[in-house]
Homo-oligomer: A and B are copies of this chain.
């Protein structure tokens, strides 16, 4: 058993994929409705595939180029005389990661574009059946993502152990194996970036463009079949909310497990698994999480049309989380050894590791609950925006911005508490395993998440096919729940991204060979500032991209209305594919620049300024990115639901207001501002912070202080004692220079590890002045933090 545990991991992934295939087949077997519905669904499916293909074409160039670069870097075995443990195989891992990520998106998209029309058809019979179809569609997505991730990581790990002939956990071969595995995560996260950003631009360009001309200029309802952009709009739901979200969580899932493995490799334990238990633990927990997520899906069912769909989803979610936590206890107790476990000087027990997992789960739950509170209809935050809509567009905007900013407080305190709590439980390994514990039920989270856009699409098809009102009512019911789950899903995604980044951050520090990231040092602080700024420029680029692409869409829709006679009378079909092409082209064009920033900045900063400044940059990006992500996602969600509230009517100062009233118009402004906030720039923050961390982790061996790179950093500081002793006369932090057993002979020099003043001509043969010059009768004195050596006992 113990020896074969490693094989269980990919097996769990395969089980997940088998269940996925069964569920997918079930969805395909459902009735896809009449010819008209099938035709519309066909347009959506074709549009989605067209986007994926176009995206893949561009990305394949990027993947080949990046893989070549990685392969080259793997051939470097020595930098400035220091050994580097790389291998060209990292390029293979990278490509596999990219392909798996793309496949996960493909699976999700494929099933979503099948499940949408089948949900519409099922809604003709009952809500129960419609929920079953749409949620099963979501489950396929969830299991696909989690299954591929666990299979990929677990399988590659086994393969790499063989390839590199790893016999000892502490060996350099083991280090190489895990470093090569980071390539898998880098591949996954790179694809995720473009899927999330490109998808986000796509969906909002189509949405805003369709609304501006359709609803505002032509006066036709949303999802009207006459609007040339309506198919693009529905494609966008799949591209952004299904494929984008899937790739995002696939990346988080992989990166979290990997970061925990990197830290686990540093832990030395004697266990039944050849010392590998800290490395295997995150994989086992996440693998079993797939099974528990499947169990959780059994709870998601309702009795009849009057049942509460949200309750059913919550039940499934809580069930899978609870089972995972309980099971984690037994897994941790079984796998980890008794007694003290130690990582980088912090000591903890296996009970502490379980405690950290518990902390991670609680953090995830609180983040979801808070997100729901700030964005749900009927709750004070959304109501405050509704009230402020009564005095116009401006006050609606101010209200939404204030809600978004305020909504950062509890999540950040939760996150800070989670960091401290999990660190208290099990050091940095605790922070990483907390993230893994939270991510264990990703399959379930994604199932709930992907259900939303499927229901949204189903409603769109019902509207476009002009089906009877009770069908639309049922899909609207699902859609409303889907909006809430989308919001909580975003909370989960940002929390997971934050914890993942922290885990990666910890792993980075280890591999980069630094033992601190000291923001008291000016260059590190400068890095922190620049890092903090990146989410701002990234957001600005995303927001602007949506604006530009939406304008292109508006022009095209106007053209079609003008040049194709009979559209308005249902006599001529609009050229849907032209609008799809515009959204596709624009999103792929506009995702380049933000993508380049995320990929290139850490490389530049790392190689020019060294690992510690890069650490400062990462911290800045993470803090600012998490804040901007929460702020934008929640502001956007709150604006959206404030607008939606007008559909049933809202009471402002004792008066009822409905759609088309002045306050409603103000709320539409808020919703439009919120669209790129919540679906483009906000969620992109997740990927931004994760990708920059993973890029840093991959380049870490090459910029490592003890492993190569310039010995002297940009600020003229040196990191080894030879140079220190030679040139510490100018602009050098002596404390930094005195790291090793340096034996400078000048008066005010480095005596071993301590900067100190010695009597003229005295050598400092050891770490301490005391030892250095007080070996005989002399005494040592502390003066202003420096040790001064004195000639005799009286201190003269």
A residues sitting closer than 8 Å to B (CB atoms) are 170, 212, 216, 266, 340, 344-348, 388, 391-395, 397-399, 401-403, 405-406, 408-409, 412-413, 415-417, 419-420, 422-424, 427-428, 431, 502, 505-506, 509, 515-520, 522-523, 525-530, 532-533, 536-537, 539-540, 543-544, 546-547, 551, 554, 615-616, 619-620, 623-624, 626-627, 631, 668-670, 672-673, 676, 714-716, 728-736, 741, 752-755, 766-768, 770-771, 784-785
Contacts and interface: CB of A to CB of B under 8 A. Distances in A.
Given A408-B533, A413-B530, A420-B523, 7 more contacts: A212-B392, A344-B735, A405-B536, A419-B529, A424-B522, A529-B626, A532-B532
A525 B547 contact: no
B543 A401 contact: yes
A434 to B, nearest CB: 11
B540 A402 contact: yes
- Chain copies in complex: 2
B212 A391 contact: yes
A517 B520 contact: yes
A538 B767 CA distance: 48
Contacts of A732: 345-347
Nearest to A528: B623
A34 to B, nearest CB: 37
A409 to B, nearest CB: 5
Contacts of A673: 394, 397-398, 401
B502 A525 contact: yes
Nearest to A755: B345
B402 A544 contact: yes
A335 to B, nearest CB: 21
Contact of A729 (B347, B416, B423, B670): B347
Contacts of A419: 522-523, 525-526, 529
A506 to B, nearest CB: 7
B519 A615 contact: yes
Contact of A627 (B393, B523, B533): B533
Contacts of A734: 345
A420 B526 contact: yes
A425 B269 CA distance: 48
B533 A409 contact: yes
A670 B398 CA distance: 10
14 contacts: A212-B392, A345-B734, A394-B673, A402-B547, A403-B540, A405-B543, A408-B533, A412-B530, A413-B533, A420-B523, A427-B731, A529-B623, A532-B532, A623-B623
A536 B630 CA distance: 11
Contact of A766 (B405, B615, B771): B771
A724 to B, nearest CB: 11
Contact of A669 (B406, B669, B766, B771): B669
B399 A547 contact: yes
B715 A547 contact: no
A516 B525 CA distance: 12
Contact of A715 (B397, B423, B505): B423
Nearest 4 Cβ contacts at the A-B interface? A423-B522, A394-B672, A405-B540, A416-B526
A764 to B, nearest CB: 12
B394 A525 contact: no
Nearest to A716: B424
Nearest to A515: B735
A789 to B, nearest CB: 14
A423 B715 CA distance: 8
A393 B393 contact: yes
Contacts of A623: 528-529, 532, 620, 623-624
Nearest to A728: B347
Contacts of A522: 419-420, 422-424, 428, 431
A347 B212 contact: no
Nearest to A523: B420
A108 B437 CA distance: 59
Contact of A416 (B516, B530, B754): B530
A468 to B, nearest CB: 34
A156 to B, nearest CB: 25
